Amino acid sequence: MKEENKTCLIVYNMYSSDQVSGDTIDKEDSAAEVCDDMDAIKKALKEDGFTVRIQGIRKITPKLIENIIEINPDVIFNLCESLNGNSKSEMHVAGLFDLLKIPYTGSPAFSLGLALNKIKAKQILKTIGVPIPPSVLIPPGEEFKADDLTPPYIVKPVGEDGSSGIFSKSVVNTAEEVNELTKKIHKNYKQPALVEEFIEGREFTVFVVGDKDPRVLAIAEIDFSNFPKGEPKIISYHAKWDIRSPLFRTSEHLLCPADIPASLKSRIERIALSTFKEIGCRDYVRIDMRVSENRRVYVLEVNTNPYLDPSAGFSQACESAGITYNDFIKEVIGRAMQRRKK
């Protein structure tokens, strides 16, 4: 049933310094200028009967709050991933919507913050038996000791997303190399470094949707076959965002659904659903995993605010599950509307 006479506000994070925080963007062509997935989401929402408004956010200001209150949306489609380029503030935006008592799509504030703190999230998952790579946290001023873990290692910032701070040289074999990388992370990212045992093996992305009763939409495998010889098989910042990278459009290198035995599929699904519930995720989440050479499954990352562009992985997952992208968006907004009723 269409949501007639209902208003949905799509929010996204602004980067450009010449955009004024708090100004509502309502032009028909604004989506293409800012966020690749916004046009498709807007189209699906309008098809579902919603009046759609758009709000860019660079920082939380009284003007921003006034704008949201003036628009008085029935629901918010939350695409905001940061404030002023700081991904740690992603949870604050969701927290604002909670304070305003406006239902919104995606994971709640606590889950957004928890998933971004990789070490905390993995410590929690470990307590319920979810396998994670052995890891240690190296705060600024401290050094890594070689007897803490078994090489090879992968070194990354503890609180970033979008592969920020992960490069081809992030996979190393010696404590000296680890300490060189941790110092760069301490200096450039102003946060501790997370050092993990690097899991050699196949990498999978699991798309999970739902709320209290989640389901696995699809399991996809990342195809590293075209990677340059000698490059570590990881989704680095370069691989994800550099147009020259063989994995620039990662969705084009996703094998969806993954060609795996039923027993492995069942294990991946069980671990993904346990992870979703324990982190407190909601609506749509992408969980990255690796399967080692001895067939053990490890959770690498929990992405509580994944990219929803129709050319990205979630669209492939929808196709694999036999549903359209528009139906997926309607399902997401429908759950948020149900939370409004409650």
C-alpha closest to that of 317 among 240, 221, 223? 221
Of 197, 217, 252, which residue sits at a domain end?
Answer: 197
Q: Is 69 exposed, middle or buried (0-12, 13-18, 19+ CB in 10 A)?
A: exposed
What integer pLDDT is reported at residue 66 of this predicted model? Answer: 96
Domain span holding position 91: 6-104
Q: How many domains does the chain have?
A: 3
Residue 25's pLDDT band (boundaries 50, 70, 90)? very low
Asked if residue 84 belongs to a domain, the reply is yes
**Which helix (H) or strand (E) is 296 found in, with range?**
none
Give the mean pLDDT of 8-13: 94
- Whether 209 and 307 share a structural domain: yes
What integer pLDDT is reported at residue 230 of this predicted model? Answer: 76
Decide if 94 contacts 112 (C-beta within 8 A). yes
CATH of the domain at 318: 3.30.470.20
Q: pLDDT: is 249 or 169 the higher one?
A: 169
- Whether 166 and 281 share a structural domain: no
- Whether 229 and 327 share a structural domain: yes
Residue 341, beta-bridge partner list: none
What integer pLDDT is reported at residue 227 of this predicted model? Answer: 76
- Whether 296 and 223 share a structural domain: yes
Asked if residue 74 belongs to a domain, the reply is yes
- Whether 191 and 235 share a structural domain: no
CATH of the domain at 83: 3.40.50
User: Residue 1: CB partners within 8 Å, gap ≥ 6?
Assistant: none
- Whether 238 and 326 share a structural domain: yes
CATH of the domain at 166: 3.30.1490
Please tell me what DSSP assigns to residue 46. H
CA separation for the pair 7, 5 (Å, rounded): 7
Residue 241's pLDDT band (boundaries 50, 70, 90)? low
- Whether 100 and 155 share a structural domain: no
- Whether 294 and 336 share a structural domain: yes
Please determine, for residue 228, whether its predicted confidence score (pLDDT) is greater than 80.
no
Tokens of 62: 């009284």
Mean pLDDT computed over every residue of the chain: 87
Q: Is the four-CA dihedral 33, 38, 43, 45 of positive or negative sign? A: negative
- Sheet with strand 201-210: strands edge to edge: 254-255, 215-222, 201-210, 283-292, 297-303
Residue 28's pLDDT band (boundaries 50, 70, 90)? very low
Tokens of 332: 């997401």
Give the mean pLDDT of 129-136: 95
Residue 288, beta-bridge partner list: 205, 301
- Whether 305 and 241 share a structural domain: yes
What integer pLDDT is reported at residue 87 of this predicted model? Answer: 82
Asked if residue 109 belongs to a domain, the reply is no
- Whether 205 and 331 share a structural domain: yes
- Whether 91 and 164 share a structural domain: no
Instruction: Render 14-30 in DSSP notation, one character per residue.
Output: ---TTSPTTPEE--TTH
Please determine, for residue 225, whether its predicted confidence score (pLDDT) is greater than 70.
yes
Asked if residue 210 belongs to a domain, the reply is yes
Please determine, for residue 15, whether its predicted confidence score (pLDDT) is greater than 80.
no
Asked if residue 83 belongs to a domain, the reply is yes
This prediction has a pTM of: 0.89
pLDDT, one tens digit per residue, over 176-210 is: 999 999 999 999 889 999 999 999 999 999 999 99
- Whether 242 and 185 share a structural domain: no
Residue 35's pLDDT band (boundaries 50, 70, 90)? low
Give the mean pLDDT of 52-81: 95
Asked if residue 1 belongs to a domain, the reply is no
